[in-house]
Amino acid sequence: MIPVGKGQLAGEIGRRQFISALGGAAVAWPLAARAQPAKLPTIGFLGPLTPSAQSDWTAAFVQRMRELGWIEGQTVAIEYRWAEGRSDRFAEIAAEFVRLKVDVILTAGTLAAIAAKKATADIPIVFGAAGDPVATGLVASLARPGGNVTGLSIQQNDTASKRLELLRDIVPKLHRLAILANVDNPAPMLEVEKVQAAARTLGLEVVPLKIRRAQDIAPAIETLKGSADALYVATDPLVSTNRIQINTLALDARLPTVHGGREYVEAGGLMSYGADIPDLFRRAAEIIDKILRGTKPGDIPVEEPTKFDLVINLKTAKALGLTISPNLLQLANDVIE
């Protein structure tokens, strides 16, 4: 047996204490690491209106994400931001999403998508509903978007002529058509061009009403009293936010209105025909699922609507003294009485 001196004994004890402490730390570190939750993939949802105004859209999106295995708060995080009809907030919200380093930005509307694209060339952007995405510069082509942007087009321009045909069924003496549009949004201005072209083929005279802010709406519609037979409202966050005012003023001016979305008819408009927006947001979830699993947005073709809604407000029709034919009522997806 080799004798151990007091110094050696103290050193041995110290070494054992250090190893013991190190072992304890080695056990503690992985436990501490496990205690820190991993960052969930995050979606930045840029809503142009308010939570209540777009509740059907978000509910459809969240439900489809759940079906695909992305459960909010468990396997995915969603950061909601609402512009409340103020297009000047789009750039601010998009910049915030860039600072938050979200994994995908989901937008509704053309201007919101344009703002997101200007804010980042790296974060994938999916527009759940936008006007002509090629003409507005969002994507290079529908089949090959390229870059970091893809999504779903609402084909607002392509359905413009159909809206006019339906309006003529309700207002057979239609000769002079007014068109209300926000001139600061490229999507409705492209729609106006399509409406004007369709109106010419039907022999209709067109009266353009150009607005930029809510304060422009009342004076614009006031000029139509006794000088127009109907009012075409081009879809846009500005007009959507003020849809109750628009329809109230139009009714007061005895003007039947035609719109691109059911929310306008639910707010007192006469008729709408357009893409089923909640269905588009369900499909937007499928695109985001692909992106979160590794597909590049530029490789995902822009999709188009497969479901369209015709909605008629019978209460408004009666107030205007209009009769809706049984055939048209039968075609309608929804009739508000």
- Is 119 in a helix, a strand, or coil? helix
pLDDT at 33: 44
**pLDDT, tens only, 119-145:** 999 999 999 999 889 999 999 999 999
**pLDDT, tens only, 47-83:** 999 999 899 999 999 999 999 999 999 999 999 999 9
pLDDT at 9: 43
74/110 Cα distance (integer angstroms):
30
Q: Which residues of 223-250 are buried (b: 16+ CB within 10 A; e: fewer)?
A: ebeeebbbbbbbbbbbbbbbbebbbebb
Backbone angles phi, psi at 135, to 5 degrees: -65, -30
Kindly state whether residues 270 and 280 are assigned to the same domain: no
What is the amino acid identity at position 36? Answer: Q
At 155, the pLDDT band (50, 70, 90 cuts) reads confident
132/152 Cα distance (integer angstroms):
10
Place of tokens 């529908």: 142
Kindly state whether residues 100 and 194 are assigned to the same domain: no
**pLDDT, tens only, 164-176:** 999 999 999 999 9
Kindly state whether residues 225 and 261 are assigned to the same domain: yes
For range 245-249, the mean pLDDT: 97
Residue 2 lies in a domain: no
**Residue 138: which CATH number?**
3.40.50.2300
Supply 9's token pair.
């004994």
- Residue 60: domain span: 42-155+276-307
Kindly state whether residues 95 and 191 are assigned to the same domain: no
For range 200-223, the mean pLDDT: 94
310/260 Cα distance (integer angstroms):
9
Residue 12 lies in a domain: no
Kindly state whether residues 196 and 326 are assigned to the same domain: yes
Long-range Cβ contacts of 121-124 (<8 Å, 24+ apart)? 121/147, 121/148, 122/148, 123/97, 123/98, 123/148, 124/148, 124/149, 124/150, 124/291, 124/296, 124/297
Residue 93 lies in a domain: yes
Kindly state whether residues 59 and 188 are assigned to the same domain: no
Predicted model pTM: 0.83
- Quick check: 303 and 332 in contact, CB under 8 A? no
Backbone angles phi, psi at 146, to 5 degrees: 70, 170
Supply 321's token pair.
């003294």
Q: Is the pLDDT of residue 287 over 80?
A: yes
60/66 Cα distance (integer angstroms):
10
At 290, the pLDDT band (50, 70, 90 cuts) reads very high
pLDDT at 158: 81
Query: Into how many domains does the chain fold?
Result: 2
156/169 Cα distance (integer angstroms):
20
Q: Where are the alpha helices (DSSP H) in 124-236?
A: 160-170, 186-201, 217-222
Supply 190's token pair.
């492209």
Kindly state whether residues 195 and 317 are assigned to the same domain: yes
Kindly state whether residues 168 and 212 are assigned to the same domain: yes
- What residues are paired with 313 via a beta bridge? 336
pLDDT at 37: 58
Residue 289 lies in a domain: yes
Residue 14 lies in a domain: no
Residue 8 lies in a domain: no
What is the amino acid identity at position 27? Answer: V
59/49 Cα distance (integer angstroms):
15
